[in-house]
Structure 1
Amino acid sequence: MRRPSGWWRQKSTPEKVETYTRWSFHFLGLSEIAGIGLASYGRTGPQLATVLSLMVVAHAVVGMATVSRSLDWLVGRRPQPVRQLWVLGAVTAALAVLAAGLAEHGPSGGGAEAAALGVFVGIQGFGLGILALGVPRRRAGALVLGFSAGTGVVTFAAGMPWLGGVILAGFVALVGGFFASTAMLSVWLLNVVYALHEAKETEARLAVAEERLRFGRDLHDVMGRNLAVIALKSELAVQLARRGRPEAVEQMIEAQRLAQESQREVRDVVRGYREAALEVELSGARGVLSAAGIVAEVTGETEGLPAEVQSALGWVVREATTNVLRHGDAKKVVVTVQMVKGRVVLTVENDGVAQGPDPSAGADADAPAGTGGSGLAGLRERLSAVGGTLEAGAAGKGLFRLRAEVPLPAGDGAGAALGVAS
């Protein structure tokens, strides 16, 4: 069974904000029941207080149901809940009229009028806050003014003094405007978080596209001229062969040489594309993490390390950075490169312990990243090829650590050039 903490950590930042926003509005319904309905028992007799509380409970239930549909509409999962909004508006208006009638013609004395008027104003305030979620922003103000004007009409029809009606109308406008503004601000914040998340994903896609373009340019530079020369020499050889000229063999030999040279150059390009230089990867990780708003600290020296060691550790940095960006919620990442007893130790530590396995792993998301994930399995294979090891998992409260160790070849002098991280 999945623990609540694992369920929460599995969510992305926008999903966490959405969940927080959703439950905040549901808690608003509970606040309405406690702050208006149950508070009536301290102002008036139990009979009237029970009636008022049941009215508030009914309104809160309809409001909380409308909140869910409205938020689904705001994030693009469902169409606008027009029917639910009309139901909530009608229930709010009907209960407000009933509360005004009880305030004016219900039991007198003992704070009964104050309790009924509190329900009258409170129901409209909470109702306006929820209704503002399901309508365009430009209509929210008109909604508040409409309920405020309706308050004046209802109080006048109920026989209240005109001054009291004006005061109540202004109070409804003030309370309703506050709740509506708070609701719209929460929605705006949620939209901003989703927009930032989409921008981050777009930035990652652009980085991939840029890398593909770079690879395409490298291949074009390598193959373009050679293929043109091969085509030209092949055509010349055909013409010479048709004329029975012995020079055709020389031209084909030259075309063959160029083809073999092109093959070697393509291998070099692909090898360079697949290999990850540690220094380059550390610099790239620092830039990418900083662009994502994550503090990145990198210490240690990499100069003088053998190429195979740099390549293996460079892949560790690349995979760790990718996992932090995709699966975690880190605020700080610390990367250290150390020389310990003839072994190069690379440590990547972050405070986003939610970092998990690759999406393609299919492993339980609650399991530490060190127990699964095709990316980490691939890293272990790369490290084992050079005699290295990899450890990954939680490292204290709220911390995640990825630790790779690679032995230096016997007699290698890189250790002297490798600084120890402070």
Structure 2
Amino acid sequence: MDDLEHARARTWLIVGLPLALGGVLPALMILRNVVHPLLPWWRLGVAAVALVVFTWLGVRVSRALVEGGPYPLREASVSGVLAAVAGGVGGAEPYGWGFVPLAWLAVASGGVRRWVAVVQAAGTAVFLIGSALFWVARGESTMTVFGLDWTAWVVVVVVIYAAMCAVLPPSTRLWLWIWQLARQAHEGREARARLAVAEERLRFSRDMHDIVGHQLSALAVKSALAVRLAEGDGDAAKAEMTEVRDLTRKALRELREAVRGYRELDLTAELHSVKSVLEAAGVRCELRLPGRDAAGDVVGDVAGDLAGAAAPVLAVVLREAVTNVLKHSEAGFCAITLRLGPEGTTLEVRNDGVARRQAADLGSGLAGLGERLAAVDGTLSARPAGDGEFHLRAVVPR
């Protein structure tokens, strides 16, 4: 379960807890009435029916608040009436039926404006205080068994209900606000990842235009010229078709290089590029490279210190690794380390957002990288480290 799912589960817990208590506490009061009959059963029956329908509607209101749908005004209004019926008829004890209107207040106040929530809280407090004292005055409340005098009951009821009505709405609204921020942050991360993918596609399309567009234009001109020369000057037409053949081979070779990701892929440029992309996505990036100055900036050309095909292959590995960090993790930090040693060149990418996929399932992207590294006798490993981090390590021998 990732961070977003944890936030959703905790929000459901906060929003659903008052509803759960609003069902459990009245159920205990009904069981108590079975053992020690204090209230008429017709009152408990009416209150129980109202409670069942209220709970059903309350779950629907809660789902709309947590999932971000429009505020269900009709369900919230009807459930408010049912909560008043259940709480008022049941006896409005703070430890029993009186918690049903409090559960409604906790849920219904989560999706309205602040002043509306204040009005809801004040109205609920007045209703519960009035209902509780009404049944106490009539001697038809379970609270009378405690033997307190009238003044004490007024103080107890006012303090309890005023405090509960003051605390429940801000608590629910705070958690819903935090959940909304978490969801927006997650959506923003996904949008930035999609933007990074779109930019890469645009970059690739530009490469295709530069390679294929120019070569096809030259082929079209040469072919048209050869057709015109074919009738009068066969040798000239043959020379033009020879150039067409050479241009075709060159275009095919450059196209293959571009598709494989090797064309003009500079490791130094990729290091700077992925750092800026990660930081733009809200992921703190730390580069640990050979040849850095005191400020931590790259000095010279990192790829220039690498021999053979190591630099372009590692540039492709780096690009794919950072793309996976953006798309498949919840990282807030990413460390990129490049080491040059006698055994070869090692690239490590470490982030603190463990990928959703399992270590045994590296996906087609990382599997393809493994094949590319194998072509230059390199190795690739990518797995969760067990401490909430994901490590990718690529080694290219000298």
The alignment's C-alpha RMSD in Å is 4.7
Report the residue type matching 1:374 in the other structure.
Answer: S
Report the residue type matching 2:346 in the other structure.
Answer: V
CA–CA separation in structure 1 for the residues paired with 2:18 and 2:127: 24
Secondary structure at the residue paired with 2:309?
A: helix
1:166-208 CA-to-partner distances (Å, cap 9, x unmatched) read x989986774464233323322332232222222222222222
Aligned match of 1:385 in 367, 375, 392? 375
CA–CA separation in structure 2 for the residues paired with 1:61 and 1:275: 68
1:397 aligns with 2:398: no
- The 5 Å alignment of 1:199-238 reads 199-238=188-227
Aligned match of 2:60 in 66, 69, 83? 69
Find the counterpart in structure 1 of residue 286 from structure 2: 297
1:346 aligns with 2:347: yes
Q: 1:399 to 1:222 in 2, by over 3 A?
A: closer
CA drift at 1:348: 2.7
Secondary structure at the residue paired with 1:15?
A: helix
- The 5 Å alignment of 1:123-272 reads 123-133=100-110, 140=117, 143-144=120-121, 147=124, 175-176=164-165, 178-241=167-230, 244-246=232-234, 247-272=236-261
CA–CA separation in structure 1 for the residues paired with 2:62 and 2:389: 33
1:256-283 CA-to-partner distances (Å, cap 9, x unmatched) read 4444444444344445457864434433
1:293-338 CA-to-partner distances (Å, cap 9, x unmatched) read 3332221224411242223333433343333333333333323222
**What TM-score do you get using the length of structure 1 for normalisation?**
0.67
Report the residue type matching 2:380 in the other structure.
Answer: L
Structure 1's consecutive aligned runs of 4 or more residues displaced over 6 angstroms after TM superposition are 33-39, 51-64, 77-83, 134-138, 155-161, 167-171
Say how many residue pairs are matched.
366
CA–CA separation in structure 2 for the residues paired with 1:53 and 1:298: 69
- 8 Å Cα contact 1:346-1:405 kept in structure 2: yes
- 8 Å Cα contact 1:370-1:392 kept in structure 2: no
1:20 aligns with 2:10: yes
CA–CA separation in structure 2 for the residues paired with 1:374 and 1:237: 45
Q: 1:169 to 1:137 in 2, by over 3 A?
A: same
- 8 Å Cα contact 1:226-1:259 kept in structure 2: yes
Unaligned runs of 5+ in 2: 30-34, 138-149, 291-301
Q: 1:388 to 1:125 in 2, by over 3 A?
A: same
CA drift at 1:232: 3.6
Unaligned runs of 5+ in 1: 1-7, 40-44, 104-115, 358-366, 409-422
Q: 1:325 to 1:90 in 2, by over 3 A?
A: same
CA–CA separation in structure 2 for the residues paired with 1:54 and 1:321: 62
Find the counterpart in structure 1 of residue 293 from structure 2: none
Secondary structure at the residue paired with 2:338?
A: strand
Aligned match of 1:97 in 83, 88, 98? 88
> Which shows bigger deviation, 30-39 or 303-312?
30-39
Percent of pairs with identical residues: 33
- 8 Å Cα contact 2:261-2:316 kept in structure 1: no
Q: 1:351 to 1:231 in 2, by over 3 A?
A: closer
Secondary structure at the residue paired with 2:334?
A: strand
Report the residue type matching 1:312 in the other structure.
Answer: V
Secondary structure at the residue paired with 1:392?
A: strand
- 8 Å Cα contact 2:355-2:384 kept in structure 1: no
> Which shows bigger deviation, 135-144 or 52-61?
52-61
CA drift at 1:210: 2.0
